[in-house]
Chains A and B, each alone.
Chain A
Amino acid sequence: MSLSARSIALHMSLIAILFILCFTLSDYHQGNLARILVLATYAIGYNVLFGYTGLLSLGHAMFFAAGLYGLGLPMHLAGLAPLPAFVIGVLCAALLSALVALLALRTIGVAFMIVTLMFAQCVFLSILYFGTWTRGDEGFVIPQAARQIMGLDLTDPTTRYLAALLLFSTALLITARIMQQRFGHVLIAVRENEERTQMLGYDVFRHKFLAVVISGSISGAAGAAYGLLFGYVGATFASVQYSIFPLLWVLLGGAGTTIGPLVGAVFMFYLIDYSSGFTNAYMLIAGVALVLLVLFARSGIMGEIRKRWVPWLP
């Protein structure tokens, strides 16, 4: 079986398992997994930039928030229908990521991290500043009645799960396809050795620019979906911690692997969920887990599996 066929088989199997889980999990875990699938989509977006292109952003929450507010504000203020609002959300994130890319890609390394962090702070503070419309830190609720698409009630747990799965599957298959094509190979080349890639004649800036836009758009789609599926839009999602989360999920799951973001998001979610049942210091447990992973599995869970046992893992 060719690498490409194996990759397709793996991804389709994963999607099939997630589909079956929708009907076999308890209500609680079904609800959790719906949320995780949206967050994993956010991590997939982050992985395009960090895992494959080697650009460490500390400001991805701005793209998530652009999607969230791009969807939420037209629905909240103008009563727009969910589907066009979702499209607007993704377009807002795409536009913002293009603008940020144009400016931030003038920097590299630590400076890139700081510039993205600063842009994200600008977005966060703007949301607070324009509180008259955004309701600032409190945010606002998208009513249950407004969260319907073509007769489908997105507040119904099964419909919500399937919508989240559709979003996740789309993002997963798109990124897997991109990474199998020449464009994706160039991104990996940029990550491995930017100067050499440039010397080989590739337009590194163009590739990095597109990577930021693809990454930001997927993150924005996750943000828009979060608002639509869970009914809340708030500035917390634009704060620094929501820029750190996708980094952690990708690091834990395995940077530069297609299913690592999902594995990381699941691991982190349930680590916090279960450990908070024992102690209020559950973030300490999460921190220790992260340290152990960095010490003993530097490539993350899926990265280590690829390194040790399954070298073809995409």
Chain B
Amino acid sequence: MPKLMTSRRSLLKGAAAGGLLTASPLVARFASAQSSAPIKIGFQQHATGIGAAYGRWYGRTTDAAVKAINEAGGINGRPVEIIAEDDGTDPKRGAEVVEKFANQHGTDVAFGTLFSHVVYGSAPAAGEQKMPYFVVSEGHHVASGKLNRYTLQPGITDVKSQVQAMAPYVSENLGKKVTMIFPDFAFGHDHRDFFTAAIEAQGGEVLEHIAIPPTETSFTKYFPKIPRDTEVLYHVMVGPAVLTFVKELGEFFGPSSPEIFGFIDSLEAVDLSSPGLEFLEGTYFWEGNPRYAQADQTSFDKNFRAAVGVDENGASVSDPADVSTYAHMFGCWETLHVIKAGMEAADYQGPQDRQKLIEAVEAMSDMAESDAHPQGPKVFNGKTHQVFGKQYISRVEGGKLLRVHATSIEDTLYPDEVDYTTMTF
């Protein structure tokens, strides 16, 4: 057994450090709380695997949000501590991580998951552990009613609302005859189903659905399937082959292409000036949050960029080549502020108050645009556990994304598909 040795020198050092710490303003601010023990938030991070680029920026945003929250006095006077665990962007490991938060780290809540399959894989564990699980995924899984009362998505909108909100702008400004190219798995199928219904509701039509198998690395053979009378090409390709996709699309069409509309998911963390992306000039993208600082940038966006360390081009201030996942990562910032607001409303003291926390979040509704919600104003639906907010459409001009349209929140709403508040805890 190792011996515990405490010398007089180390004791003095410890006492001095302790004195300094208790004298610091931060501790004084936290000292008024009933307990000064930190609020532990388990951060399920895609540090490795296919979601690693997102995970890196989700991590930076999370750290910045926690720093801001702690500098403002923490939650209920207690400091916030983030405990990050890598889920490998894998649903099995995701569930294990949630169990680790609950049974080993003893976190108060879990948060941060992006990829839908990890959310699906982890949500049962969250429900069984009775662990409030705040996802930042943009999947329709929460609002569809397929998960449980412990799973909420209060910081980022879902794909159904995003897609349907695009249809009015596309049909009015770009064209009514659409061809869709999408990956042949659930993410692509969501776009196919939601956008097809939405564009038809606008009097438009989808001429052709072109599903690309996920193992595909070259796309040229699919392009002849695009009907000649296509007015708008809608693409949502993701993954490492997306640069090849854009390059081959450019080679296929040359200068005379239809209008092209895509989701920035394809190019998150990718520099728009990358070779081969010149073809994107003049094309349109959905953005959850405009990557490039716009002329009418709000002070909230400015503060958010400064806190996370993102420049006006959406890249790291320390490395212009390190492009952020700006359209999504605000979700971590906003979710953490919702957790803070929920815990304060519930007077959260510890895990015994988890149900009160969920009820407090369910009771939320309007969230004003602010430093806590820099992406824009939002409306939270407590029944479906899903937040709704503005969506943005940008056009590539001069190699940068210029916002040309912002939807209303009403454009993104759809009938409730579930009422989680009727479910037991």
Give the B-binding residues of A (Cβ under 8 A).
26-28, 31-32, 35, 121, 125, 128-129, 131-132, 135-144, 155, 157, 230-232, 234-237, 273, 276, 280, 282-283
Q: Chain B nearest CB: distance from A63 CB in Å?
A: 17
Q: With A231-B124, A280-B47 in contact, is A236–B103 under 8 Å at CB? A: no
Q: Do residues A139 and B121 form an inter-chain contact, with CB atoms below 8 A?
A: yes
10 smallest CB-CB distances across A and B, nearest first, come from: A231-B124, A28-B103, A136-B186, A138-B186, A27-B103, A28-B104, A136-B185, A137-B185, A232-B121, A138-B116
Q: Do residues A283 and B48 form an inter-chain contact, with CB atoms below 8 A?
A: yes
Complex CA gap A235/B184 in Å reads: 13
Minimal Cβ-Cβ distance residue in A for B101: A28
Complex CA gap A236/B116 in Å reads: 12
Binds A, one of B8-16, B20-28, B83-91, B248-256: B83-91
Q: Do residues A35 and B185 form an inter-chain contact, with CB atoms below 8 A?
A: no
Q: Do residues B186 and A236 form an inter-chain contact, with CB atoms below 8 A?
A: no
Q: Which residues of B contact A231 (CB under 8 A)?
A: 124-125, 128
One of B48, B121, B213 near A234 (C-beta < 8 A): B121
Complex CA gap A262/B189 in Å reads: 39
The A contact surface, by secondary structure, is helix
B68-108 toward A: CB 8 Å interface, digit per residue (1/0)? 00000000000000000110001110011001101110000
Give the A-binding residues of B (Cβ under 8 A).
47-48, 85-86, 90-92, 95-96, 99-100, 102-104, 116-117, 120-121, 123-125, 127-128, 139, 141, 146-148, 184-187, 189, 213-215
Complex CA gap A138/B148 in Å reads: 16
Minimal Cβ-Cβ distance residue in A for B106: A28
Q: Which residues of A contact B214 (CB under 8 A)?
A: 125, 128, 137
Minimal Cβ-Cβ distance residue in B for A134: B186
Report 15 cross-chain contacts, Cβ distance below 8 Å, ordered by A residue: A35-B96, A125-B214, A125-B215, A128-B185, A128-B213, A132-B189, A140-B120, A141-B123, A142-B124, A143-B148, A234-B91, A236-B90, A273-B96, A276-B86, A282-B86
Q: Which residues of B contact A136 (CB under 8 A)?
A: 185-186, 189
Q: Which residues of B contact A273 (CB under 8 A)?
A: 96, 100
Q: With A139-B117, A139-B120, A276-B86 in contact, is A236–B127 under 8 Å at CB? A: no
Q: Which residues of A contact B215 (CB under 8 A)?
A: 121, 125
Q: Do residues A28 and B100 form an inter-chain contact, with CB atoms below 8 A?
A: yes
Q: Chain B nearest CB: distance from A82 CB in Å?
A: 14
Q: Do residues B120 and A141 form an inter-chain contact, with CB atoms below 8 A?
A: yes
Q: With A144-B148, A236-B117 in contact, is A129–B91 under 8 Å at CB? A: no
Q: Which residues of A contact B91 (CB under 8 A)?
A: 139, 232, 234, 236
Q: Which residues of B contact A140 (CB under 8 A)?
A: 120, 146
Minimal Cβ-Cβ distance residue in B for A160: B128
Q: Chain A nearest CB: distance from B241 CB in Å?
A: 16
Q: Which residues of B contact A235 (CB under 8 A)?
A: 117, 185
Q: Which residues of B contact A280 (CB under 8 A)?
A: 47-48, 86
Complex CA gap A142/B127 in Å reads: 12
Interface contacts beyond A26-B103, A142-B124: sample of 14 additional A-B pairs, CB < 8 Å, sorted by A: A26-B104, A125-B213, A131-B186, A131-B189, A138-B185, A139-B117, A141-B124, A155-B128, A230-B124, A230-B125, A234-B120, A236-B121, A276-B86, A280-B86
Q: Chain B nearest CB: distance from A4 CB in Å?
A: 37
Q: Chain B nearest CB: distance from A232 CB in Å?
A: 5
Q: Do residues A31 and B185 form an inter-chain contact, with CB atoms below 8 A?
A: no
Q: Do residues B121 and A28 form an inter-chain contact, with CB atoms below 8 A?
A: no
Minimal Cβ-Cβ distance residue in A for B140: A138
Q: Which residues of B contact A125 (CB under 8 A)?
A: 213-215
Q: Chain B nearest CB: distance from A224 CB in Å?
A: 15
Q: Which residues of B contact A282 (CB under 8 A)?
A: 48, 86
Complex CA gap A131/B186 in Å reads: 6
Q: Which residues of A contact B86 (CB under 8 A)?
A: 276, 280, 282
Q: With A137-B117, A137-B185, A139-B91 in contact, is A31–B124 under 8 Å at CB? A: no
Which of A138, A139, A143, A231 has most B Cβ within 10 Å? A138
Minimal Cβ-Cβ distance residue in B for A156: B128
Q: Do residues A138 and B103 form an inter-chain contact, with CB atoms below 8 A?
A: no
Q: Chain B nearest CB: distance from A237 CB in Å?
A: 7
Q: Which residues of A contact B48 (CB under 8 A)?
A: 280, 282-283
Q: Do residues B139 and A138 form an inter-chain contact, with CB atoms below 8 A?
A: yes
Complex CA gap A23/B424 in Å reads: 28
Q: Do residues B124 and A232 form an inter-chain contact, with CB atoms below 8 A?
A: yes
Q: Do residues A144 and B185 form an inter-chain contact, with CB atoms below 8 A?
A: no
Complex CA gap A235/B92 in Å reads: 11
Complex CA gap A140/B116 in Å reads: 10
Q: With A129-B184, A141-B147 in contact, is A31–B99 under 8 Å at CB? A: yes
Q: Do residues B120 and A128 form an inter-chain contact, with CB atoms below 8 A?
A: no
